[in-house]
Structure 1
Amino acid sequence: MGLSACIITFNEADRIADCIASLSFCDDIVVVDSHSTDATVEIARSLGARVLLRPFDGFRSQKQFAIEQAAHDWVLCLDADERVDDALRAAIEAERARGFAGAAGYRFARLSEYFGRFLRHGNAYPDRVLRLFDRRRGGWRGTREVHEAASVDGEVRVLRGDLIHYPYRSLEQQLLKTQRYARMMAEHDFARGKRATLGKLIVSPAWRFWRGYLLRGGFLDGWHGLVYAYVRANYVRQKTIMLWLLQNGQKP
């Protein structure tokens, strides 16, 4: 059973090699690059990936384009800051040996590194994602271009092992990234008719923090868990404020 790996990139020269190396068991590796200005394209090609250049018009659209270019119908989708660990690789290969019988797709846990420590509690883990699927029965569907998620028609199973995630190069980069995502989500929600309220502005960020930090045990990750929970709560606050501005005729 052929298997294609699909990756989207933009200026990932420092991370793309490790990502591709973890996908050496795949038969085909497709990289869709948004015209990087660093050595991302050259590194990917040197490692045997097929690189296609495409202007960025949204995370969902870019990923859907990538799976459409794959040589095989079964696709494994990663971001450049992710790697397949040994246990997950073994689980994928075992399912492939059985022809992915009876399943339309597979979920697995994503384990995120956060400033020197892997977060194993709170809202950060297990964070199961659907990334291995039959493109004939699904894909990156819908209209939301941020916090995009794949979906399939059929049974979805869970695999053991982790998708190792290195999401942030620095706290500054995380704050800039979450602010960008907050704006994109606010614009998406506004276009769908969703509206912010004073209650949501006050309650939603607090609930996000306490749910992750206390109810889901984020405090067990030490100060890393505290900072992570606080920044994620602030993302909810930013998104709600930007939605409030949009519905009152202001630009975020």
Structure 2
Amino acid sequence: MLSVIIITKNEASHIGRCLESVSWADEIVVLDSGSNDATIAICREYTDKVYEKDWPGFGIQKQRALGKAQGDWVLSIDADEVVTTELRMEIEKALQQEQFQGYNIPRLSSYCGRQIRHGGWWPDHVLRLFRRNCSQFTDSVVHEHVIVQGQIGQLAAPLLHDAFVNLDEVLHKVNCYSTLGAALLYQRGVRSSLGKAILKGFWTFIRTYWLQAAFLDGRQGLMLSISNAEGTYYKYVKLLELEKRSTHHE
């Protein structure tokens, strides 16, 4: 039995396509955290296992969703991801094997209308298919991942990811993830400065655009490199703000 788990918040523009691509699964579990658009209504067209909880961060939320799954195998996907027919066939074949307890899946992401194959985005191997009884998510607020006890296999067909549909979404995610990233760095004891923020942002652009060859992805490759650099810069500037607020309160 295969359970698909998805966490959501205001994903009405994506979730229908996502759910349609996994409608063949034995069970679909959706855990929402306060959507005020049509997300929940769309999800209920595909499954009656739609739950609502507060938002504690990505890792804890995905672990909550995992706790509600009943299948021996679990496929964890995001609302802006799609399982292709080729990937479905590979997954169904993998479930019949006994050798592995989890599988990495290559993820092919798009940025403002173009699938990105450079800039460190491809192949983006993500561990998303795993046995439920030997797996759990880390409790990280962002950049969470699943830990599987056992051997990990590799699938070949990609998981499609609409990472950034337009520039509004780019700016929104840069803001959200830089805030979460700053909080995570602060918890780890990392400290920042304006000079460090500038250098980190500049290095991110050099690495993405030149060393990881994002220039081969044309205009979107340049846009991606700039937004990556901005995200890194703002993460370290926000970290600096956290430090100053902490010092002020002491």
Q: Report the TM-score, using the length of structure 2 for normalisation.
A: 0.92
In structure 2, do the counterparts of structure 1 residues 197 and 72 end up closer, same or farther at CA, with 3 Å as the change threshold? same
CA–CA distance in structure 2, aligned partners of residues 14 and 202 of structure 1: 35
CA distance in 2: counterparts of 1:13 and 1:49, whole angstroms: 17
Aligned residue in 2 for 1:47:
46
Give the corresponding residue for 2:221. 225
Runs in 1 of length 4+ with deviation above 3 angstroms?
Answer: 197-200
Tell me by how many angstroms 1:48 deviates.
3.0
* Other-structure match for 1:170: 166
Show CA shifts across 1:41-73 (max 9, x none): 122111235111112221111111001100113
Distance across 2 between alignment mates of 1:139 and 1:73: 13
Residue 159 (structure 1) aligns with:
155
What is the distance in 1 between the residues matched to 2:244 and 2:38?
43
Secondary structure at 1:139's aligned position in 2? Answer: strand
The correspondence of residues 87-126 of structure 1 with structure 2, limited to 5 A, is 87-98=86-97, 101-126=98-123
Give the secondary-structure state (helix, strand or coil) at the position aligned to 2:163. coil
Q: Which runs of 5 or more residues in structure 1 are unaligned? A: none
Aligned 1:59-78 pairs, distance under 5 A: 59-78=58-77
Tell me the alpha carbon deviations over residues 194-220 of structure 1, each in whole angstroms, 9 at most, x when there is no partner. 112566324322222222212222111
Q: Secondary structure at the match of 1:242?
A: helix
Contact 1:28 1:49 in 2 (8 A): no
Superposed CA deviations along residues 134-192 of structure 1, whole A, max 9, x for unmatched, are 22222212x32112122212212211011111123421221122112111111121122
Amino acid at match of 1:108: I
Aligned to 1:239: 235
Which of 141, 146, 150 pairs up with 1:145? Answer: 141
Corresponding position: 1:37 with 2:36: yes
Percentage of pairs with the same residue: 40
Mark the CA change 1:133 to 1:29 in structure 2 (over 3 Å): closer, same or farther: same
Question: What is the SS of the residue equivalent to 1:131?
Answer: strand
DSSP 3-state at the match of 2:155:
strand
The SS at the match of 1:57 is: coil
Q: Deviations over 1:75-133 (max 9, x none)?
A: 101111000122221211111122xx121211111111112211111122222111111
Q: In structure 1, what is the equivalent of residue 185 of structure 2?
A: 189
2:19 — aligned with what? 20
* SS at structure 2 position matched to 1:125: coil
Aligned-partner Cα distance in 2 for 1:159–1:152: 16
**How far, CA to CA, are the matches of 2:48 and 2:164 in structure 1?**
24
Q: 2:204 aligns with which of 208, 221, 225?
A: 208
* Structure 2 alignment gaps of length 5 or more: none
Q: Is the 8 A contact 2:60 2:140 kept in 1?
A: no
Residue 85 of structure 2 is matched in structure 1 by 86
**Aligned CA-pair RMSD:** 1.8
* Paired residues of 1:201 and 1:240 also in contact (CA < 8 A): yes
Q: Report if aligned partners of 2:3, 2:29 keep a CA contact under 8 Å in 1.
A: yes
User: One-letter code of the match for 2:108?
Assistant: L
Number of corresponding residues: 247
